[in-house]
Amino acid sequence: MAATEARVARGSAGDGLVALAKGLTKRYPPAVTALTEVSFAVRPGEFVAVLGPSGAGKTTLFRCLTGLPRPDGGTVSISGRDIWESPRELSSARRALALIFQQFNLIRRLSALENVLVGRLAHVPTWRVVLRRFTRADRQLALRCLDTVGLVDRAYTRADELSGGQQQRVAIARALAQDAKIILADEPVASLDPESSATVLESLRSAVSTGVAVVASLHQVHLARAYADRIIALRDGRIVADAPASRLDARSIELIYEKNGERSQA
Amino acid sequence: MATVAGGAGDYPERSRHRLRFVLILTLVAVFYSASWQLAQVDPPRLLVGLPKMAGWAAKAWPPATDELPVLLRRTAETIAMAAIGTTVAALLALPLCVLAARNVTPSMALYYPARWFLNALRGVDSFVFALLFVAAVGLGPFAGVLGIALHTWGSTAKLWAEAIENIPPGPLEAAAATGASRLKVVAYALFPDVAPSLVSVGLFWWEFNVRASTVLGVLGVVGVGGIGQELKNSMDLLLFPRLLTIILLILGTVTVIDHTSEWLRRKLE
């Protein structure tokens, strides 16, 4: 905890951090405090896994980072700017964030490429969107994003004809096409089989190699240790561990789950 | 006495149920006997009249073919009325169905007025609208087109709004989360998803309107023309072979259109 505070203290605005949470507190009246004084920072090109048993506050944390509910205390900064400073900051923060969902949320009847181009919608004029006339540059960018997740050969396949893992990788390509600084993935592999989970997490690693930061909640400890650079563990709405994945040994992670009366299945 | 107290407690409950049952039965009986009277239902008269109708049917054979070109033209008029009316309605319904769909409406302040407006359009039949439009554009198929367009506008937009409300919210949320405006999300993420059901609803109303515009003609008052008008004229003049030709033409048209739109809808799946 002290280490986190120190890191946060150094991470003031404009020093290259993509996301910074300071003292985040969120209450759901009357009795639930979902987050208590949560602070952490995310650097460009960093893959952060958030671990914790269900009910630990992972989803609330993700929602606060997107500015959906306003936290009761603390601040969220994206690229060094406080998202609650003004509505303009909030909407520019939202453009800098890309979301990955458990259920992929692709448009079923559109091709993989057209789904990736969803990431360009905010960048192009309305008439181009209505007529579906994207520039060559946008289409090439979308193809490169598909290439990053290893699906360029499925560019013209309809989304609903792809497997779950492939759909999630298209969603990652969509996030890359958005030109976001940070990808927030809430349980990206929770509804996938182990093999697909591995390819999806590899795609997230490829995304990270392009310089974007990834914050993903996972519920399998071994996946977090294999793919993330850093692990943040939440329990009862508090950060109980924040360390490089290599330095957090299996035992200390198991403690997080055990104390809560639950055992990790990993 | 004490031993049956529990049972006795049930009695008022049961007799209240029975009373309600008898009351409902009485009300239903009153409703149907009153309706029977008001509708002047008279089965004996049907029995006496049926042979007369059979006589007409016998006199109708063979169908008259001498006026076939005129009648085909009138049939085409009816189909055209339905096609233009339905298409205009669809174009008008497109923006309104977005306002009237709870999940994509820009604001509840637009949602409710849109719903009321559509319900009002839907509540008035094409025939009534056509009658009103005769005052504006005079007798002729155009009044029928306008009548069909207005009623279909309301009906189509309402069904389309329901189709939009039924699509999964996830892909729309994902598209909106990229920072894209609502118009972009609707145009890019929503329409591909709902297009098949929109087209299917549109085809259904075209089918329906071919029948409706036939009836507009039969009702005559409107003078909208089309095959329905010819049907009424032949009936009035007791030209049975001509009447039979017209009925066969209507049946043929409706069948072909039903099959075409069913085939189109299956292709869209």
pLDDT digits (tens, 9 = 90+) for A202-249: 999 988 998 899 999 988 888 888 899 999 988 888 888 888 888 877
Is residue B222's pLDDT more than 80?
Answer: no
- Minimum-distance CB partner of A105 among B173, B180, B184: B173
Average pLDDT of chain B is 85
Under a CB-based contact definition with an 8 Å cutoff, are residues B155 and B205 in contact? yes
Under a CB-based contact definition with an 8 Å cutoff, are residues A123 and B206 in contact? no
Angstroms from B21 CA to nearest CA on chain A = 47
Q: What is the pLDDT of residues A102-116, one digit of tens each?
A: 888 999 989 999 999
- List the CATH code of the domain at A2-258: 3.40.50.300
pLDDT at B121: 92
Minimal-distance CA residue of chain B relative to A130: B187
List the end-to-end C-alpha distance of chain B, in Å, as a whole number: 70
Q: Which of B181, B185, B186, B188 to mutate to test the interface with A (most CBs of A within 10 A)?
A: B188
Under a CB-based contact definition with an 8 Å cutoff, are residues B200 and B163 in contact? no
- Minimum-distance CB partner of B180 among A106, A122, A132: A122
**Least trusted range by pLDDT, from A144-153, A202-211, B59-68, B179-188:** B59-68
pLDDT at A261: 47
Task: Quote the CA–CA distance of B209 and B196 in Å, as a whole number.
Answer: 20
Under a CB-based contact definition with an 8 Å cutoff, are residues A196 and A147 in contact? no
The arithmetic mean of pLDDT across residues A186-196, rounded, is 89
pTM of the model: 0.74
**Least trusted range by pLDDT, from A254-258, B11-15, B219-223:** B219-223
Is residue B165's pLDDT more than 70?
Answer: yes
Average pLDDT of chain A is 84
Task: Quote the CA–CA distance of B113 and B120 in Å, as a whole number.
Answer: 10
Q: Is A2 on the interface with B (CB under 8 A)?
A: no
Q: Is A105 on the interface with B (CB under 8 A)?
A: yes
Higher-confidence residue of A260 and A22: namely A22
List the alpha helices (DSSP H) in chain B: 5-38, 43-60, 68-99, 108-123, 126-137, 141-165, 170-177, 182-185, 191-219, 226-236, 240-268
Angstroms from B267 CA to nearest CA on chain A = 15
Task: Quote the CA–CA distance of A244 and B149 in Å, as a whole number.
Answer: 66
Beta-bridge partners for A186: A217
pLDDT at B66: 82
Residues from chain B contacting residue A103 (CB–CB below 8 Å): 170
The single-letter code of the amino acid at B67 is E
HSE (CB half, 13 Å, CA atoms) of B97?
A: 31
CA B234 to chain centre: 26
Contact residues, chain B to chain A, C-beta under 8 Å = 170-171, 173-175, 177-181, 183-185, 187-189, 192-193, 195
Is residue B2's pLDDT more than 80?
Answer: no
Q: Which of A144, A183, A191, A186 is nearest to A167 (CA)?
A: A191
Across the interface, whether the CB atoms of A95 and B174 are under 8 A apart is answered no
- Minimum-distance CB partner of B193 among A91, A108, A130: A108
Q: Which of B267, A192, B147 is nearest to A202 (CA)?
A: A192
Is residue B179's pLDDT more than 80?
Answer: yes
Under a CB-based contact definition with an 8 Å cutoff, are residues A174 and A112 in contact? no
The arithmetic mean of pLDDT across residues B37-47, rounded, is 89
Across the interface, whether the CB atoms of B174 and A174 are under 8 A apart is answered yes
Which range, A51-60, A202-211, B58-67, B237-246, has the best average confidence (pLDDT)? Answer: A202-211
- Minimum-distance CB partner of B188 among A91, A104, A121: A121
Element (H, E) at A196: helix A194-209
Is residue A12's pLDDT more than 50?
Answer: no
Is residue A3's pLDDT more than 60?
Answer: no
Residues from chain A contacting residue B195 (CB–CB below 8 Å): 109
Q: Where are the domains of chain A?
A: 2-258
pLDDT at A2: 42
Angstroms from B110 CA to nearest CA on chain A = 22
Angstroms from A78 CA to nearest CA on chain B = 15
pLDDT at B137: 83
Task: Quote the CA–CA distance of A150 and A143 in Å, as a whole number.
Answer: 10
Q: Look-up: residue for tokens 């952060």?
A: A48
CB count within 10 Å of CB B256 equals: 12
Q: Is A108 on the interface with B (CB under 8 A)?
A: yes
Task: Quote the CA–CA distance of A224 and A228 in Å, as a whole number.
Answer: 5
pLDDT at B6: 47
pLDDT at A157: 94
Is residue A156's pLDDT more than 90?
Answer: yes
Q: Is A178 on the interface with B (CB under 8 A)?
A: yes
Element (H, E) at A74: strand A73-78
Across the interface, whether the CB atoms of A95 and B178 are under 8 A apart is answered yes
Is residue B199's pLDDT more than 80?
Answer: yes
- Minimum-distance CB partner of B178 among A101, A109, A178: A178
Domains belonging to chain B, first-starting first, are: 70-268 (1.10.3720.10)
**Least trusted range by pLDDT, from A29-43, A242-256, B18-32, B146-160:** A242-256
Q: What is the pLDDT of residues B85-144, one digit of tens each?
A: 999 999 999 999 999 998 888 888 999 999 999 999 999 888 888 888 888 888 778 888
Cβ partners under 8 Å of residue B85, min gap 6: B126, B144, B145, B146, B147, B148, B149, B152, B209, B213
Predicted complex ipTM? 0.79
The arithmetic mean of pLDDT across residues A155-168, rounded, is 93
Is residue A65's pLDDT more than 90?
Answer: no
Angle at A159 between CA A158 and CA A164, to 5 degrees: 140
Element (H, E) at A49: strand A47-51
Higher-confidence residue of A91 and B28: namely B28
